[in-house]
Structure 1
Amino acid sequence: MKSYLNHLLFLLHFGFMLSYSAVAQDTTFIHKEVKPIIKGSLIKTPEALGISPKVQKAINEMTNPPINIALFGVDRRNTHDQSNSDVIIILSINQQKGQVKMSSIMRDTYVNIEGKGMDKINAAFALGGPQLAVKTINQNFEMDIKDYMNVDFYSAAKIVDALGGVMIDVKEAEVPYLNNYLDELVNIGTVSKAEHVSKAGLQRLNGNQAVAYTRIRYVGRGDYERTERQRSVMVALFNQIKNAGQNMFPVLASQVMPNLETSMNNMTMLGFASGILGAKNKAIEQARFPLDKQSTGKRINNIWYLTTDLKATAVSLHDFIYKDIKPLNKN
């Protein structure tokens, strides 16, 4: 029981760190130094968070509703930059059922951003930091998110290495792109030599290789499969750490928590984890939104957006989080 508490707490911190690894798709920068912990803050009134009276009423009428947390991966060169959140995941924790769900939101989704108008959802973080980013998710998808986490993706590579790597089934078409991103690390001076992946198939990736894997975009269905790679690495790591025993806690304390930006304190996160101790369902359920059937790519003013019926997408998202209805996508 106590061991599983450590595992769940680790997931809350580290699962997001892996989600960030895809952020560098449009930039080759990686921090050379691990930054100190950043304590984020949010104004948590319903109005400031964009939680409507309708949503508040619906949540209040539920028995033990899931707790939803926004996970952002922000493309920034230092902790003071306000850049696009190219990774957006809603982590839902159902304490009663012992369920953990990840809902990826496509970064190019065309939404309304308060004070800006219609734009890509990933622009909200650059325009107004985590406060506006959380508010944008809540307003467009009728959510009740009150907390967020964000982390420099460089830390994800450090954590993968600390765990001894992660097992990933790499496709033949992905190998050259993965190695190309590893070469970029050499070009910017992050590493002196690229440790290339020599073949396809199930294999153990080190930290930099895992980060490179989740950056791959130009294979398969582009950004659609990129979000799948993010979740694949997260799930693989979670499955690995479930059996790691109590030795996981020092890793969490020394290499995860110091690099985490969050609006939550450690006791709050421990409370989330303790609520699902002993649950039978310890697997991560995952989905990507908007659904294929509810979205289409469109150029507006010569910029590509993923347009969607926001109301229909909100319903599909709610069905997954609150009703255990698994959505279907092409990938």
Structure 2
Amino acid sequence: MKTIKGKMKTFVLSILCIGFGFFQLKAQDSTANRVDFMVLPAAKKVVQLNRSDAALGISAQAIAKQKSQQNPPINIALFAVDRRTEAEAGNSDVVMVISIDQLSGKLKMLSIMRDTYVNIEGTGMNKLNAAFAIGGPQLAIKTLNQNFNLNIRDYINVDFYGAAKIVDALGGVQIPVKTEELPYLNNYLNELSIYDKIPAIPLTQAGLQLLSGKQAVAYTRIRAVGHGDAQRTERQRSVLIAIFNQLKLKGKEIFPVFATDVLPNLETSMNNFILFSFAGSILNSKNKTIEQARFPLDKESVGKRIDNIWYLTTDLKTTTNSIHQFIYGSTNPVKTKR
């Protein structure tokens, strides 16, 4: 079995880490320290998906789109499920797609608003985040593929507590917190402490702060400040990028943390072989930015009450075109330094 050399670590862990964040892994290339990726600890839950195109909702057009690219990206769905106990199904509070250019290592990160009005097979029109609760990751991935003509075949998911443990394992994350965000962050923090019965440690100052796992999760849940749920997706991406920065900062010494504290908190459809294969093309990347965006775009969506429930409505064909332009074309998204 081949071993993983050199810089094979920091990026799979960053794509892997979300509940947000999660991407990279690396093993040292000295003989004494080489690591066989097949003997790594397994994720908390490895889910065997039905991988047929029909079961994943992948159309012939989406397959053709991938094949038409000289260097087609790999698209992975990232979910963070809003559940307090293992028994809960939970809506996906976070819905992201990470697009990885395997050759250049270029990374694109896009959020899709959880309230987007989409068709969920077998249910009809509903909020996007309901797909995970209704049919688990299989239906959640299928819903993304069917509504936005994507070719997603794998996913990573964490719940609140798993995400908090991952952030703590990395030593926290640096996040610029605004004064007006403080009371809402602490309110969500208190809510989390009720469920795990561990007293919350409130954040007392604004500015650039080193957030603990629970504080980071609470930060990603804020939506009463700024542009509502749209700005919440920005906070979620900020935490994911901060996780990536921590991984880069810690370098190779993060490897045992990945094995003992990250993998056990992940639910995924991917085995170690696949995770390392992604890392191989990414780690040599010289790209210094992560391109990010949020969909539907403001100009392509409007909030509506339907049967007394609020939805974010959009012309799905228009939003699909915008998402494809971002993933496959040249765009001018927000760029965040790694």
Q: Answer whether TM exceeds 0.5 for this pair.
A: yes
Does 1:273 pair with 2:276? no
CA contact (8 A) 2:63 2:151 kept: yes
Q: Following the alignment from structure 1 to structure 2, what is the Cα–Cα distance between the partners of residues 296 and 205?
A: 34
2:15 maps to which residue?
Answer: 12
Match of 2:154 among 147, 153, 161: 147
Q: Take 2:167 and 2:72, find their aligned partners in 1: how far apart are those partners?
A: 32
Amino acid at match of 2:323: L
Cα pair 1:100 1:282 within 8 Å, conserved: no
> In structure 2, what is the equivalent of residue 57 of structure 1?
64
Spell out, residue by residue over 1:41-97, the C-alpha distance to the aligned partner (whole angstroms, 9 max, x if none): 211111111111111122122222000011111223444533211211001111112
Matched, 1:164 2:171: yes
* Residue number among 256, 263, 281 corresponding to 2:269 in the alignment: 263
Tell me, which stretches of 5 or more residues in structure 2 are unaligned? 23-42
Q: Equivalents in 2 of 1:246, 1:80: separation in Å? A: 36
Q: Name 1:92's counterpart in structure 2.
A: 99
The aligned counterpart of 1:121 is 128
Q: How many residues align?
A: 312
The one-letter amino acid of 1:310's match is L
Identity %: 58
Q: CA deviation at 1:18?
A: 4.7
- Aligned residues of 2:167 and 2:212 also touching (Cα < 8 A): yes
- Summarize the Cα distance change of 1:142–1:149 in structure 2 as closer, same or farther, 3 Å threshold: same
Out of 302, 313, 323, the position equivalent to 1:317 is 323
CA distance in 2, matches of 1:301, 1:82: 24
Residues 275-315 of structure 1 show CA distances to partners (whole Å, capped at 9, x for unaligned) of 12321104322111000000000000100000001111111
Which has the larger displacement, 137-146 or 7-16? 7-16
Question: Which of residues 204, 207, 215 in structure 2 aligns to 1:209?
Answer: 215
SS in structure 2 of the partner of residue 274 of structure 1: helix
**Partner AA of 1:96 in structure 2:** L
Is the contact made by 1:73 and 1:150 (CA closer than 8 Å) also made in structure 2? yes
Superposition misfits of 4+ residues, deviation over 4 angstroms: none
Find the counterpart in structure 2 of residue 289 from structure 1: 295
Q: Assess if the C-alpha contact under 8 Å between 2:50 and 2:56 holds in 1.
A: yes
- Following the alignment from structure 2 to structure 1, what is the Cα–Cα distance between the partners of residues 300 and 253? 44
Q: SS where residue 275 of structure 1 aligns?
A: helix
In 2: Cα distance, 1:9 partner to 1:262 partner: 13
Q: Distance in 2 between matches of 1:187 and 1:240?
A: 29
- Distance in 2 between the 1:56 and 1:190 partners? 48
Q: Secondary structure at the match of 2:138?
A: helix
1:195 CA displacement: 1.5
2: CA distance between counterparts of 1:69 and 1:2? 24
Check conservation: 1:17, 1:153, Cα contact below 8 A.
no
Q: 1:16 to 1:86 in 2, by over 3 A?
A: closer
1:303 lines up with 2:309 in the alignment: yes
Q: Decide which of 93, 112, 115 is 1:105's aligned counterpart.
A: 112
RMSD: 1.9
| 1:184 correspondence with 2:191 | yes
1:185 Cα deviation from its structure 2 partner: 3.4
Partner of 2:245: 239
Give the drift of 1:187.
3.4
For residues 6 and 222 of structure 2, what CA distance do their matches in structure 1 show?
Answer: 34
Cα displacement (A) at 1:189: 4.7
Equivalent pair of 1:18/1:233 in contact (CA under 8 Å): yes
- For residues 226-277 of structure 1, what are the alpha-carbon distances to aligned partners after superposition, in whole Å with 9 as ceiling and x for unaligned? 1100111111221222121211101100011112111110110100110123
Equivalent residue number for residue 200 of structure 1: 206
Q: CA deviation at 1:112?
A: 0.9
Write the letter of the residue equivalent to 1:125. F
